[in-house]
Amino acid sequence: MLTTIVFDFGGVLVEYNFRRFFSHILGSEEQGEFFLKNVFPAEVNADMDRGEHEPRYFIEQQQRLWPDYRQALDVFFTRYTDIFTREPDGMRQLMIDLKARGYRLLGLSNWSSKVYEVMKKFDIFELLDGYLLSKDVHQLKPEPEIYHSFLRKFNVKAEECVFIDDKPENIVGAYRIGMYGITFRSTAQLVHELEPLLLPYTFTPAQPQDEEAIWSIVHRAAMDMVSRGRHQWDDNYPQRDFVARDIRQGNGYVLRLDGNIVGYTAVTFDGEPSYNQLDGQWLTSGPYATIHRTAIDLAHRGRGLSRLLFIEAERLSRQHRMPSVRIDTNYDNVEMLHLVDSLGYKRCGLCYYDHGDEKVERIAFEKVL
C-alpha cells in the first residue's frame, strides 16, 4: 500500500531552462549550446550536485579553465534563480489534495547548496514534509545508494513509495530498489498515472477458488472484443482450460479492489515458443518474462487498471531478475497498442500463432527492464 509520494525538484516542482538562460546571456542559441556542452557540461553540474565542494569551487575552477567565459560563469552564479521560471500548472493543488488524503509528501533531488536560493523563490517546497538532497549525502540519482539513504532517513519501505522524476533514468534507479515510479511530463499526465496506484488494490497469485471469477472476466472481455469487431479474442480463445492451467502452474495473477477480483493476467518466465521465430529483431537475447491473457472487468474499465496490471507484472519480473518483458497483440486491439506504447514497449516485429487451420499474425513488443 502506498503511503508516500516522493518528488524530484527541478523539472517537477519547478520548471527550468538552462539552454534559454545561457542563450540569452551569451547572445545566441549556438553560444548557449557551446557553453552547456563545454564550459559548464553535465559532468561539472553533477559534481557540483554531489556536494564534495561548495558551488563556488566549481565556478572558479571552470573560470580558470575557460577565462574567456569568466563573466558568463559569474552571471550564472549570481543570477542562478533566473533559470527557474515557474511551478508546473496544477502541481500545487495536486500536492495539497494528496496531503488532504493523508499521503506523506517527500523530496529527493540531485542539487547543490544553490537549491536554497530556489526554495526561497518558490514556496511550493513548503508543502513537503521533508527531503533529501544529493549534496548532503554525496550521492547522486540514479545510483542505488541515494535511494537507500532516502529510505533510511525517512524510515519508509520502498514498496510504500512512488517516485516522480522528469528523467527516466532516475525512475529506473527507483525501480531497481523496489519503488514505484512515474516519469513526469505534465501534471495532468502525472494524475492519470498516479491515481490507479493510489487505489486500495492488491496483486497476488491466483488460487483455484478464483477460477470462476477470473473466467467470467476473461470471457466477457473476449465477447466484448467480438461485439466491437476486434480480432484479438473470440468465443474459442482464450479457453477456460488456459486459465486453469495458468493457476495450476502458478502463472496466473489477480488484481483485487477492496477484496474483489477486477483484473487478471498471466506472467511466465520460461519463454514463449511463438517468439522463437520472429519476423523482426528482439531487443535482448537472454531470458525474458511474457505477459498473456490480460483482462479487466468491464464494470471497472476507464480507471487505469490495465496499466496497473502491467506495472505489477513488470515489478514481478524484476523480482525474478528478468532482463525484459515481452508481449504481443493484434493489429486492431487499439487500446492495448496504445497502452504498451505508452509504457515504453518497443515494436520488435511480427510473431505467429496456430489458430485452427490458419496462422494468426501478432505485433510483438519488448521492454528492457
Q: What is the CA 163 to chain-centroid distance, rounded?
A: 8
Cβ-Cβ contacts under 8 Å for 211 (sequence gap 6 or more):
240, 243, 244, 247
Cis peptide before 41 (omega within 30 of 0): no
The span from the CA of 293 to the CA of 219, in Å, is 11
Phi-psi region of 351 (alpha: psi -120 to 50; beta: other; left: phi over 0): beta
Q: In this structure, are residues 5 and 162 in contact, taking their beta carbons and an 8 Å threshold?
A: yes
pLDDT band at 311 (very low <50, low <70, confident <90, very high): very high
Q: In this structure, are residues 51 and 112 in contact, taking their beta carbons and an 8 Å threshold?
A: yes
Residue in this structure with the C-alpha cell 559534481, named with its chain if needed: 47
Closest CA to 328 of 288, 358, 297, 296: 288
Closest CA to 64 of 91, 96, 39, 100: 39
Q: In this structure, are residues 255 and 262 in contact, taking their beta carbons and an 8 Å threshold?
A: yes
260-310: pLDDT as tens digits: 999 999 999 999 999 998 999 999 999 999 999 999 999 999 899 999 999
pLDDT band at 10 (very low <50, low <70, confident <90, very high): very high
The span from the CA of 32 to the CA of 197, in Å, is 40
Phi-psi region of 178 (alpha: psi -120 to 50; beta: other; left: phi over 0): left
**Element spanning 187, H or E:** helix 187-197
Cβ-Cβ contacts under 8 Å for 190 (sequence gap 6 or more):
94, 164, 182, 184
The span from the CA of 11 to the CA of 131, in Å, is 16
The neighbour count for residue 328, using CB atoms within 10 Å, is 28
SS3 state of residue 85? strand
pLDDT band at 182 (very low <50, low <70, confident <90, very high): very high
245 vs 233, higher pLDDT: 245
Average pLDDT, the chain: 95
Residue type, position 213, single letter: A
50-98: pLDDT as tens digits: 999 999 999 999 999 999 999 999 999 999 999 999 999 999 999 999 9
The span from the CA of 291 to the CA of 265, in Å, is 7
pLDDT score for 356: 67
